[in-house]
Structure 1
Amino acid sequence: MDLAAKVYEITDKFPKHEMYSLADQMRRAAVSIPSNIAEGKGRRTTKDFIRFLNIAKIAKGSLYELQTQCILSNKIGYLSQEDFRLIIKMCETLEHRLSALIKYLKHAN
Structure 2
Amino acid sequence: MGKVEKFEDLEVWQLARNICKTIEKLLRETPLGKNYALANQIERSSGSIMDNIAEGFGRGGNAEFHNFLSYSKGSTSELKSQCYRAWDKELIKSSDFELLIAECRKLENKLGAFMFYLRKTDLKGIKFKKPGADQI
* Structure 1 contact 3–90 (Cα < 8 Å) conserved: yes
Matched position secondary structure for 2:63: helix
- Look at both structures and tell me which one has the larger radius of gyration over its CA atoms: 2
The residue that corresponds to 1:9 in the other structure is: 25
Moved more, 96-105 or 74-83: 74-83
The residue that corresponds to 1:71 in the other structure is: 84
How many residue pairs end up in the alignment? 105
What are structure 1's unaligned runs of at least 5 residues?
Answer: none
* Structure 1 contact 14–23 (Cα < 8 Å) conserved: no
Q: 1:75 to 1:53 in 2, by over 3 A?
A: closer
What are structure 2's unaligned runs of at least 5 residues?
Answer: 1-16, 123-136
Q: Percent identity?
A: 33
RMSD: 1.7
List structure 1 runs of 4+ shifted beyond 4 angstroms.
Answer: none
| Superposition deviation, residue 27 in structure 1 | 0.9
Output the TM-score relative to the length of structure 2.
Answer: 0.69
The residue that corresponds to 1:41 in the other structure is: 57
The residue that corresponds to 2:111 in the other structure is: 98
